[in-house]
Structure 1
Amino acid sequence: MNVCMVAYSYYQTDHRIINYAESLVERGCRVDFIGLKKATKTKRFMRLKGVDLYSIQSRNHNEQSIFSYLYKMMTFFLIGCLFLLWQHLRRSYRIIHIHNVPDWLVFMAFLPKLLGAKVILDIHDIFPEFYCQKFNKSSDSFLAQLALKVEKLSVSFADYVIVANDLWVKKLRSRSKKSPHKFCAILNYPRWELIKKSVPHTTKKYFTIVYPGTISHLHGVDIAIKAMPLVTKKIPQARLHIYGLAGNADYYQELHALIEKLNLNGKVELFEPVHHEELAKIYENAYIGVVPKRNGIFSSEAFSTKIFDFMAAGLPVVASRTKIDLHYFDDSMIMFFEPENHMDLAKCIVNLYKDKKTRESLVKQSRQFLAQNNWSVRKKEYYRIVDQLAG
């Protein structure tokens, strides 16, 4: 069976898509991916672990307005429509699995669907709320209402809708006329083999705190940096290592200025994003994983993949107390701090440093949770959807 995945993202750093694609390859499927390329580092075509990657557009993450943001997406959409149709005529895809953001990428499969392909829309992020929080707009604004209408049309067009968490499944069902049986939640589960490879953390020179992921105001990276003067006052050997892409160039510069202002050079470092295999090595030299995202109409319900990754690596997690995290976890698995409160974050980090038993208890409880919530167990749900659509 031939399957194509489409996303306005980079394959190598999107672990959700990697899980889907490699699992289909394991079943003997031919899998293509159509997505973005980094400006100078990615070839237009390459094969990675059996998946054929087609990079049709580059992106520099320098959008300063909603219009530049949408312009790049529209360019990707138009090029992608033609390329996907061409590939479908060559490959005759049985399944086309399209990932948002944005939702309307699903219409890239309009002609292939007429020719017999079944279409999955995978909603990583709900776009109306994402737009409102990212650009500080009201939910009643024209573009927010337009995004809501586009979401409804996109959901209706797809043959099946996969959503990144249960809260969003409930929300999408409530504002769609689609059958409830055409929705399901699949979280960004970690791989069991990575969990089994995790090793106990030995004594290191530094007490390293890690944050891997998007570097943006919404993700609260500045909050973690602001906590560090309080942390290093109690723990002189504490270090914060940040790995990721800058969602906004101005914000990235603000972080550098903040590090300078707080005299944190050498104590807080910003690194380029790394592949999942490299992150596993980084986690072995860390003590705590931090998820400092802000509260908000979108982020309070956005599940952070980093939490699962930290748990899989045997790292205790410090995360902001948001609605989505309280839905899946409790205080026995995560040490929560009040959102956007850098002093409370610092307090939690210091408390974990002092209390080895609490660190070990958090890791033990999170491991028990992951035993039933990892990709090796949960990928059966994805197989069920694919088999159902393929007939």
Structure 2
Amino acid sequence: MAISKRLCHVLHGPYLTDPRVRREAEALAELGWQVDVICLHEPGKPRRDVVNGVSVLRLPLARKRGSVLRYIFEYVAFLLLATLVLTVRIGKRYRVIHVNNMPDFLVFAALLPKLFGTKVVLDVHDPMPELFQSKYGLGKDSFVVRFLRWQLKWSMRFADAVITVSEEMRKLLNAVVPGLKVWVVMNLPNSSFVRTGQISESERFVSRNGFRLLYTGTVAERYGVRVAVEAMPKLRELIPGVSLRIVGSGDQLEELRTLAQDLGVSDCIEFCGTLPWTEIPKLIRESDLGISILLKDPHTDLCFTNKVVEYVTCGLPTVVSRTLTSEAYYSEEIVRFVEPGDVESFISAVVELYRDPDLRKKMSRNGIALSDRWNWETEKSKYVELIESLA
């Protein structure tokens, strides 16, 4: 294998459930690159693995949700372990090391390889300062947030190239380091995912008992899943056989289970836990309405959630919170906007769509049409062009 075809992804997270990193790694493996991944431990998975031609090394460290101090400990521990692995592998002479945030300062794990000529890519999935503001209620001028801005700036300057997920995120990063070129590679599903998730109109809109809502993703306060649970008693009165399927895990999961029991709706809410990304198309086929109802804060205003684009390009009508990024990318012809955190607004939108199948059909057709220009195949060419130019 030619030296110029070696790349390593570094990910503080589980590889199998991160569709963005998997798509990027597998895109290069298909082109003949030798691709390695260094990631967190995944329960039930071997320490060393090969997934679709990508070599995966899972470090003996698992993600645990907790306080700011817990996250800092975990980030630093993973940084040290990743640094050790990359130092031991210095003989592999990676041409590119692709570091996925969070944390941003994980790029410094590639310090020694960079000194030997390896190019370093920083992929900013989430805005770390804004996320900590949202998650922990920190002020924008607090010490922690100011430190996170500082480390983001120097992490970007250290990297040879910076990638992010949307134009709104690019603008934010350019405000941190003015004049720095930031590549946008959107987090879009590939054509096989979309084909698997799509079904004919006669199947999707067939008259049947029940009306299923689908949420996939992290179950945390900022993602607004509680709004959907609180809406279920009223929705049950207005929509015969309504149900809610919640797929994912997070620090609010047990709270929502308890809330569902207290509201007397636990029999119509299904908590599925975390499922492989490859199972999501089946869930989309089985659903009547997708939901992504973020609360509004500095972080969620910048979120380009992959779940929404997966829903709409598969033809699933979707209810979406009105945020800066969602309004920049979607129109009312494709999604139904609701006010963030407003239970009554959510109920109104769901009931309206339930009662108007023609509107749902129109949204479904518009979402499927969007997949012609919004797809991973288009974004993949941008990513491969960048990596090839660095190598």
Q: TM-score range by the shorter chain?
A: over 0.9
Which residue in the other structure is 1:70 paired with? 72
CA deviation vs aligned residue, 1:43-93 (integer Å, no higher than 9, x gap): 111111001111103325331x1001111111111111001222232x211
Give the Cα separation in 2 of the matches to 1:301 and 1:156: 22
Aligned counterpart in structure 2 of residue 20 of structure 1, from 3, 20, 24: 24
SS in 2 for 1:266: helix
Q: TM-score, length-normalised on structure 2? A: 0.95
Match runs of 1:120-269 below 5 Å: 120-177=121-178, 179-180=179-180, 182-197=181-196, 198-200=198-200, 201=204, 202-246=206-250, 248=251, 251-269=252-270
Give the Cα separation in 2 of the matches to 1:346 and 1:303: 23
Give the Cα separation in 2 of the matches to 1:273 and 1:244: 4
Residue 45 (1) aligns with residue 48 (2): yes
SS in 2 for 1:274: coil
1:157 positional shift: 0.2
Question: Are 2:194 and 2:281, in contact at CA under 8 Å, matched by a contact in 1?
Answer: no
SS in 2 for 1:269: strand
CA deviation vs aligned residue, 1:156-188 (integer Å, no higher than 9, x gap): 0000000111111111112214x43x3111111
> Relative to 1, partners in 2 of residues 1:62 and 1:378: Cα closer, same or farther, differing over 3 Å?
closer
Give the Cα separation in 2 of the matches to 1:186 and 1:204: 39
Question: Are 2:61 and 2:78, in contact at CA under 8 Å, matched by a contact in 1?
Answer: no
1:231 positional shift: 1.1
Give the Cα separation in 2 of the matches to 1:57 and 1:317: 39
SS in 1 for 2:221: coil
SS in 1 for 2:374: coil
Question: Are 1:318 and 1:349, in contact at CA under 8 Å, matched by a contact in 2?
Answer: yes
Give the Cα separation in 1 of the matches to 2:127 and 2:119: 22
1:268 positional shift: 0.9
Which residue in the other structure is 2:288 paired with? 287
Question: Are 2:63 and 2:74, in contact at CA under 8 Å, matched by a contact in 1?
Answer: no
Which residue in the other structure is 2:39 paired with? 35
Which residue in the other structure is 1:321 paired with? 322
Letter of the 1:46 counterpart: D
Give the Cα separation in 1 of the matches to 2:194 and 2:77: 39
SS in 2 for 1:61: coil
Question: Are 1:333 and 1:362, in contact at CA under 8 Å, matched by a contact in 2?
Answer: yes
SS in 2 for 1:310: helix
CA deviation vs aligned residue, 1:274-325 (integer Å, no higher than 9, x gap): 1122111111111111001110011111111100111232211101111100
Question: Are 1:231 and 1:347, in contact at CA under 8 Å, matched by a contact in 2?
Answer: no
1:199 positional shift: 1.1
Give the Cα separation in 2 of the matches to 1:27 and 1:51: 12
SS in 1 for 2:40: strand
Question: Are 1:204 and 1:285, in contact at CA under 8 Å, matched by a contact in 2?
Answer: no
Which residue in the other structure is 1:367 paired with? 368
1:230 positional shift: 1.5
Letter of the 2:6 counterpart: N
Question: Are 2:188 and 2:375, in contact at CA under 8 Å, matched by a contact in 1?
Answer: yes
Give the Cα separation in 1 of the matches to 2:176 and 2:379: 27
Which residue in the other structure is 2:83 paired with? 81
Give the Cα separation in 1 of the matches to 2:35 and 2:28: 7
Give the Cα separation in 1 of the matches to 2:187 and 2:60: 25
1:203 positional shift: 4.4
1:253 positional shift: 2.2
SS in 2 for 1:11: coil
SS in 1 for 2:25: helix
SS in 2 for 1:218: helix
Q: How many residues align?
A: 382
Question: Are 2:47 and 2:57, in contact at CA under 8 Å, matched by a contact in 1?
Answer: yes
SS in 2 for 1:37: coil
SS in 2 for 1:306: helix
Q: TM-score, length-normalised on structure 1? A: 0.95
Task: Report sequence identity in percent.
Answer: 29
> Relative to 1, partners in 2 of residues 1:26 and 1:204: Cα closer, same or farther, differing over 3 Å?
farther
Letter of the 2:188 counterpart: Y
Give the Cα separation in 2 of the matches to 1:97 and 1:294: 31
Give the Cα separation in 2 of the matches to 1:143 and 1:174: 19
Give the Cα separation in 1 of the matches to 2:217 and 2:371: 21
Residue 57 (1) aligns with residue 60 (2): yes
Of 227-236 and 18-27, the range deviating more from structure 2: 227-236
Q: For structure 1, which runs of at least 5 residues remain unmatched after alignment?
A: none
SS in 2 for 1:330: coil
Give the Cα separation in 2 of the matches to 1:124 and 1:296: 17
Q: For structure 2, which runs of at least 5 residues remain unmatched after alignment?
A: none
CA deviation vs aligned residue, 1:80-123 (integer Å, no higher than 9, x gap): 1001222232x211110000011000111001111111000000
